Structure 1
Amino acid sequence: MTDARAAALADYLHQRAAAFSLSADVNDAQETAHAGMALLDAAAVAQRLGPKDEIIRTLSEAGRFETMPDGKAVFLETSELRTAIQRPLLGSRMTGHEILALVVSTARRP
């Protein structure tokens, strides 16, 4: 059974990947397509996180999840998080684990 917060984080990363994919299709930019694939990798990693995983715990403590009915959750994006994800992805290739580390470090900032 998947943790609701892990599923919410994975959904968020899938949404960001879709936006990159659409942009790559429109602009025929291979770097953007690679960024979208890295976000999909991060989503796959996030989907497997358990409730006691440090990533989930840290993002929860930072207030990045909203509890929804039926045991679901939503990941709450901030402009800082969006900027943190977009800027490095377009500058250099990252792995899914690196993207999640970036999300956590950005969420920890006051």
Structure 2
Amino acid sequence: MPRRPSFGIAIVGLGLAVASLVHASPNSALPMTVTDAGTAIGRLQDALLRRDSDALDCLAVLREDDAGDGWLFALHEVHDARCGGDPDTSTVRARYRVSAAGEVSV
């Protein structure tokens, strides 16, 4: 039986890839000022997709909390028939903060 790649290595790779996308582009179609959680999720998804068009395959962005002048989100693995994995778990791959100024940070 072939050995599956180490999950730990995948997380390190994701962290390195995400580190380079953390600031919103001024050329983005989304408004620069973020005033609600819906716009904040849009800003985060836009930043992830600009970095990698497949960035959200088998991943879900879930709101965790408001951060005073921004919003906190977690990127969870989707475990279902298409993506595989244990459907009773929802592993967090990364956490993000979207500021009211539109900056996305890990």
TM-score, normalised by the number of residues in structure 2: 0.29
Larger RCO, structures 1/2 (Cα 8 Å, 6+ apart): 1
Give the structure with the larger strand fraction. Answer: 2
**If each structure's helix is expressed as a fraction of its own residues, which one has the higher value?**
1
TM-score normalised per structure 1? 0.28
Larger radius of gyration: 2
